[in-house]
Amino acid sequence: MPRLARFRIAAIEDLHRQLHFAPPATRLRQMNAAETLLPDIEPDRSYPHDFVVFRITGYRPESSGASPMLVGQALRGDLATFVQALSADLELPPDFDDREAITLEAVARELRLSVKTLQRYRRDGLVCHYIREPGGIRRLVCFRDALDRFVAEHPDRIERAAAFDRVDPTTQGRIIEAAAALRATEDCSLNEAARRLAVSHDRAHETVRNLLQRHDRRAVTPIFGDPGPLTARDARVIERANRRGVSVARLATRFGCTGATVHRSLVRSRAQRLRGLTLRWIELPTFDRPDAESVLLSAPIVRSGLDRRLPSTDAHALLTAAAAAGVPDAGAVAALHGAYNFLKRRAAHAIETLPRWPAAGKIDAIETDLRWAAHLQRRLVSLGLPAAIGRIQQNLHQPLLARPAEEIEELLRFAVDVLVTVVEELDPSRDQRLERRGAYTMDRALAEDRPGTDRRGRARARHEPGSVSLPALLDGLTPWSGWLEIATETQTMLDRLDPADRELLRLEHGLDGEPPRTRTWLAEHTGTTVGSVTRRLHAAMRRLRRVSRG
């Protein structure tokens, strides 16, 4: 099966991560929206991040500053990758949306190109989808309309590629024989042999080097033995394969290296993800105290009851609980807010000091801090929601439950987005109160004619408990949630795991209402090693993903 291209834009990758456990209907809707957007993107222009997110999700992210600009060329490739990645988790039929599905092999014959060339074109905006054939086989295809559009956009490039003289099997055999002779007579390295043979065979150096590397990885007796250090591409492949369940042992065999080398590569990939985060926090006076860590992170409210928040998957339950909620205690909000910002600050400082080859324990400690911070953020958003919902209902002049189901979801999602901005900018040290700030910001947002506020005059809707489901409104509120947290919908399937593995996941992710634990803590708790705990966690997550996908 062709591998999925790597995202080049962190914002699009984050958007995809947030959909990892989303309902199929949501993934399908955003997949189609991304494909519709792609033809509108010009390679030599840049586009605001807010505009792209709005076109895909239908919601405008709240931002206190200018929206980052995304380069059109990279955006086109990432949108194609986004579509393909989402289709991989959907059971699309060959005649999806009355479109004609064409296999990549058939497309290659039609255009007189190699399948590998077609796969490279995905980076430039060629949209492909995974479909499920009648026999149950999943296949990557290109729909006729998407192919015709791409060909119309790149006629000269496709014509040049069709005329390109590829390395045929006979030439490949001659190059490999010559490489073996060079190794035997002059004991040269793979790279040096590739350099010489590229000249004598009139080929690119990289083409010959890749050919020799492929041969040695597949051969029982490789010519050069040592495949050399892992490349950046190798590291990306290893990370993707490991996330999908391929063991370290298999990866070590595949890449001709030791298990320790694979482990180091995986740790370095995790570090690169962390370095890609932009962490912001409110600097509070208490942070300068020598005992700041023990004071801020030892308060009972930040160490227990982290799972106490408003229901986020059922509108009736959420609105009923919000109506019954009182004004949040200012001291509790200050404690949660202080710990939340301190954890982000600590994580940011730790990321800044990461060496090129960081220790796994250091990465795990940072990831644990970020998981804890995400729990605290959800608690704060949950505490501020009642006031925000109250302002919405005052602007509507009727209860939210009197509105249509789709409008209820839209307005509640909007309220959460507004509260996330409030939590990020709140400063209790300046006597700012969460509920007041939330109500004020919501009033300003609604004054800008936001969703649902211009629909008066409709007949009152009637909704029974459980009749209006929500897409886990409190999931994915941070940039790191998509790869460091387990979505609410998936948490409901934890009971299908082995009790011991289920407990490990609950402890690592803080699903028991207490702060998330590091793997070092889990190893001491279970009387095993960090390596054993890591293997068990990876295996448990693989099983959980399989269960969540049915």
CB count within 10 Å of CB 525 equals 13
Do 345 and 466 share a structural domain? Answer: yes
Residue 3 lies in a domain: no
Does the pLDDT of residue 458 top 60, yes or no? no
Q: Report if residue 4 sits inside a domain.
A: no
pLDDT at 120 (0 to 100): 80
Select from 472, 495, 498 the least CA-distant residue to 485. Answer: 472
First to last CA, the chain: 21
Whether pLDDT at 166 is above 90: no
Q: Is the dihedral of CA 128, 132, 134, 137 positive or negative?
A: positive
Hey, which residues does 441 pair with through a beta bridge? none
102 or 67, higher pLDDT: 102
Kindly tell me if the per-residue pLDDT of 535 is higher than 80.
Answer: yes
Written as six digits, the tokens of 69 are: 């600009």
pLDDT tens digits, 520-530: 999 999 999 99
Q: Vertex 351, ends 535 and 294: CA angle to 5°?
A: 90
- Give yes or no for residue 428 having a pLDDT over 90: no
The domain tally of the chain equals 5
Last residue in a domain, options 147, 162, 177: 162
Asked if 403 and 384 touch (Cβ cutoff 8 Å), the reply is no
Is residue 381 within 8 Å of 419, Cβ to Cβ?
yes
Structure tokens that stand for 484 in this block = 């460091």
Whether the predicted pLDDT of 245 surpasses 80 = no
User: Would you place residue 178 in the very low, low, confident or very high pLDDT band (cuts 50, 70, 90)?
Assistant: very high
CA 373 to chain centre: 18
My answer on whether 402 and 269 are in the same domain is: no
Range of the domain at 492: 486-550
Give yes or no: residues 220 and 247 share one domain.
no
Are 266 and 312 contained in the same domain?
no
CATH number of residue 504's parent domain: 1.10.10.10
For residue 184, give Cα distances in angstroms to 35, 215, 261, 466: 53, 16, 28, 74
Assess whether 494 and 400 both reside in one domain. Answer: no
pLDDT higher than 60, residue 64: no
Chain mean pLDDT for the chain = 85
pLDDT digits (tens, 9 = 90+) for 497-528: 999 999 999 999 999 999 999 999 999 999 99
Answer whether residue 1 is part of any domain: no
- DSSP assignment of 126-155 equals ---EEEE-TTS-EEEEEEHHHHHHHHHH-H
The pLDDT value given to residue 467: 75
Residue 5 domain flag: no
Q: Judge if 260 and 307 occupy the same domain.
A: no
- Per-residue pLDDT for 408 more than 80? yes
pLDDT at 65: 59
Question: Confidence class of residue 1 from pLDDT cuts 50, 70 and 90?
Answer: very low
Residue 452, CA distances (Å) to 217, 420, 442, 455 in order:
59, 20, 13, 6
Task: Mark whether 142 and 184 lie in a shared domain.
Answer: no
Model confidence at 307, in pLDDT bands (50, 70, 90)? confident
Provide the whole-model pTM: 0.63
Domain end point (choices 118, 139, 162): 162
Lowest mean pLDDT among 98-112, 151-165, 525-539: 151-165
Q: Of the given ranges (125-129, 175-179, 461-465, 485-489), which has the lowest mean pLDDT?
A: 461-465
Q: Reduce the secondary structure of 504-528 to three states and give it as a string.
A: HHHHHHCCCCCCCCCHHHHHHHHCC
Q: 129 has which bridge partners?
A: 141
Q: What is the number of alpha carbons within 13 Å of residue 352 lying toward its C-beta?
A: 8
98 within domain boundaries? yes
146 in the same domain as 64? yes
In a domain, 480, yes or no: no
- Any domain includes 403: yes
pLDDT at residue 383 tops 50: yes
pLDDT-derived band of residue 219, with 50, 70 and 90 as boundaries?
Answer: confident
Answer yes or no: do 266 and 345 share one domain.
Answer: no
Domain match, 450 and 498 both: no
Is 353 a residue whose pLDDT tops 50? Answer: yes
**Residues 122 and 105 occupy one common structural domain:** yes
357 and 446 in one domain?
Answer: yes
Q: Is the distance from CB of 4 to CB of 88 less than 8 angstroms?
A: yes
Two tokens at 12? Answer: 């699009």
